Structure 1
Amino acid sequence: MIYRFRVILDNDTEDDIFRDLEIRENDSLEDLHNIITQSFGFDGTEMASFYLSNDHWDQGEEISLFDLSEDASARLMNETPIDSVVHEAQTKLIYVYDFLNMWTFYVELAEIVEETEGHDYPNLMFVHGQIPDNAPERLFESEGDEMFNEFDDDLDVDDYNNLDFDENWN
């Protein structure tokens, strides 16, 4: 069977940027990683991971391109067939490419179809929008932004004369 995915760049612009891809259900997540990077114009040399996701796009278990864990316990893309993590009941993945820039994509199984004889897979079916030069800036928020205002106490840390500490403490 052939899985058809829509891969959408997570951005806050008005323009949608996505690719529609076809790939065999028993290909690996590394194969899916390769067609995603190629279809968006990346060279594919940066670290990347897929994350299992639910219907609310919550990030779940990581499946990594390389095992950087100390105990060699990471789940790897090249050892994970697509159909073992994506199927009719589990249709969503989050894909992060280049952990310094955090290119983040929503990957959703759109359709499962019969393989068409004579077609090469994986296959880029449709391109919409051009990827920006820089990764969209991600805003991290908490409820009421309380977490990020924890130290908002009007202290001027550059005003050394009014800070309450003994500079000769040792």
Structure 2
Amino acid sequence: MVYKFRVILDNEEDIFRDIAILADDTLEDLHNAIFNSFGFDGLEVGSFYTCDDTWNQEDEIPLFDSGDVLGEMKIMSDYILSDILDTENTKIIYVYDFINMWTFLVELAAIEEISAGSTYPETLFVHGEMPLESGEKNFMADEDDENYNEFEDDLDEDDLDMFGGDDSFEDYGFEENWN
């Protein structure tokens, strides 16, 4: 089977790509298809995030294992597309380049039979030109949110001090001028 995705850049302008890829390819294959179709060089890392129907981000699926115990974390190459996306679960978020935070909304639009003579993955349709910069992301809480100041009253200066008021590094086993 072939999965056809619409991959939309989270931007003010309408910029998207339609991509066809085999259902038994991995999320890593989809990662490669996305950065190629949008013209990135592939030198940066990315992650997929599961989400609900309203695009609320849930679990991260990274390109590389960054966990404390190597091999314990599942990564993109561990997930077959048909195991994570289907007619019921059609949405996933993709973030490329964690400095610029290129964010894409990826939605499964169709599941079709393989077309003879086609090579997958394939970019089927291109709409819009990529901007030079990813655009601003607002990571600040909304002051109108009822939980905006929820923890503010519980904090004091000691909570923000890693060294308990002592600026020395003696207890950490290395010297201040280690280089």
TM-score calculated relative to the size of structure 1: 0.82
- The Cα of 1:79 is off from its aligned counterpart by 1.6
Match of 1:24 among 17, 22, 25: 22
Contact between 1:26 and 1:83, CA under 8 Å: does it hold in 2?
Answer: yes
CA distance in 2, matches of 1:100, 1:27: 27
Q: Which amino acid aligns with 1:110?
A: A
Partner of 1:116 in structure 2?
Answer: 115
- Indicate the residue corresponding to 1:77 in structure 2: 76
2: CA distance between counterparts of 1:82 and 1:90?
11
CA distances 1:6-34 after superposition (whole Å, capped 9, x unpaired)? 000001x2x20000000000001111000
Partner of 1:133 in structure 2? 132
Structure 1 residue runs without a partner (length 5+)? 152-170
SS of 2:55's partner is coil
**Aligned position for 1:42:** 40
Q: Secondary structure at the match of 1:144?
A: coil
SS at match of 1:137: coil
Q: Secondary structure at 2:144's aligned position in 1?
A: helix
Distance 1:39 1:74 in 2: 28
Unaligned runs of 5+ in 2: 154-179
C-alpha distance in 1 between matches for 2:22 and 2:56: 25
Alpha-carbon offset, residue 139 of structure 1:
1.3
Alpha carbons 1:3, 1:111 under 8 Å: kept? yes
User: In structure 2, what is the equivalent of residue 64 of structure 1?
Assistant: 62
- Indicate if the aligned counterparts of 1:62 and 1:75 stay in contact, CA closer than 8 A: no
Q: Aligned equivalents of 1:70 and 1:25: distance in 2? A: 31
Superposition RMSD in Å: 1.7
Overall identity of the aligned pairs, in %: 50
Q: Within the alignment, does 1:4 sit opposite 2:4 as a pair?
A: yes
Distance 2:58 2:78 in 1: 18
Q: What code does the residue aligned with 1:44 have?
A: G
- Which amino acid in structure 1 is aligned with residue 17 of structure 2? R
Equivalent residue number for residue 162 of structure 1: none
Q: How many residues align?
A: 148
Query: 1:161 is matched with which residue?
Result: none
Alignment of 1:82-97 (within 5 A): 82-97=81-96
Superposed CA deviations along residues 58-107 of structure 1, whole A, max 9, x for unmatched, are 11111110011112322211121111111011000000001111110000
